[in-house]
Amino acid sequence: LKVSRLGPKAFEQCAGFLRIRGGSNPLDGSAVHPESYPVVERILAKLEQTVDSLLGNSSLLHTLKPADYTDEQFGVPTVTDIIGELDKPGRDPRPEFKTATFKEGVEKISDLVPEMVLEGVVTNVTNFGAFVDIGVHQDGLVHISSLTDRFVKDPREVVKAGDIVRVKVLEVDVPRKRISL
């Protein structure tokens, strides 16, 4: 709260994303918001436990009934989330981030050879096909007719930006910097 232009409301919104490892309160290293610490304190008081003994203690946490710890400010969904975080403190709730594995030794357009099969990331989808980053600082185009072995009216039926795909190099025009995939 001492950061300039970061007021109480902004802090409240971002607090669940902040982790302070080795902080004065073990909950500071979890996604439990500071304004929710009183819920955890009620749980600790009822169980006669310490925060350290409760964090990650699945067998004990699974016996808790969220409704027992609700009040006018914290309902069952919030208490359920808090108990879930106590069970797996510091867990990143985002799904695993996957990236394309660019082929080693293929770094510029002149390294490409027809029939080469590569992994890439769809960067843009248009009405006529999809552009794919294959790691050569120039996206290649997969024409709508080459996206799949069936008729496709709209490329968005098959791919979207961010998809990881396998492509085959059909043609490379180095002077015009065009790659057909």
pLDDT in the model for residue 34: 87
**Residue range 147-156: mean pLDDT, rounded:** 94
Least Cα distance to 104 among 90, 119, 89, 121 occurs for 119
Structure tokens at 110: 């002149």
How many Å apart are CA 38 and CA 59, to the nearest integer?
Answer: 22
pLDDT for 93 equals 66
Q: Is the pLDDT reported for residue 61 higher than 90? A: yes
- Orientation of helix 37-47 relative to helix 76-87, angle to 10°: 70
Q: Say if residue 73's pLDDT is above 80.
A: yes
Task: Give, in order, the Cα–Cα distances in Å from 99 to each of 80, 94, 102, 134, 138.
Answer: 33, 15, 9, 11, 18
Distance CA 72, CA 56 (A): 27
Taking residues 144-164, report their average pLDDT.
94
Percent of the chain with pLDDT over 90: 70
pLDDT at 91: 72
pTM above 0.95, yes or no: no
Q: Residue 170 has which token pair?
A: 């059909």
**Overall average pLDDT of the 41-62 stretch:** 92
- Percentage of the chain beyond pLDDT 70 is 99
